[in-house]
Amino acid sequence: MQIVVGPILTRKGGYAFDCWTPEQGLSPGYTYGRVEDAHYARNVEIRSRSKGSSDQTIACSTVDDFVRLTLDVRGRQQSAWATPLPSAQEKRVVMDAVYG
């Protein structure tokens, strides 16, 4: 299973990161009161997914990377021979999902 881990963002009440998988779609993360706690939880998520499994974990450091990779992974799933370029509407939908 592939998973894309997003960057840490400020959210109402603190800091959070999101994860995306082709099977489950976007999973909003828990909001932590301290940025250090969010960094720790994100690192644990990345390590736990990578350790001892065949999962492919991709950690993004920017929102642009997160949007591009989630659209890219979804495109590769739909068509093995070509990755479609995301439309402006698709980018807006993902950005709305990330920023709320």
**Residue pLDDT, tens place only, 23-33:** 888 899 999 99
Please give the structure tokens belonging to residue 63: 């929102």
Position 53 scores a pLDDT of 61
Q: Which residue has the higher pLDDT, 59 or 2?
A: 59
pLDDT of residue 94: 72
Break the chain into its structural domains and give their ranges. 2-99
- The mean of the pLDDT values for the chain is 80
* Environment class of 49 (CB within 10 Å of its CB; exposed 0-12, middle 13-18, buried 19+): buried
Q: Is the pTM of this model over 0.95?
A: no
How many Å separate Cα 29 from the centre of its chain?
Answer: 10
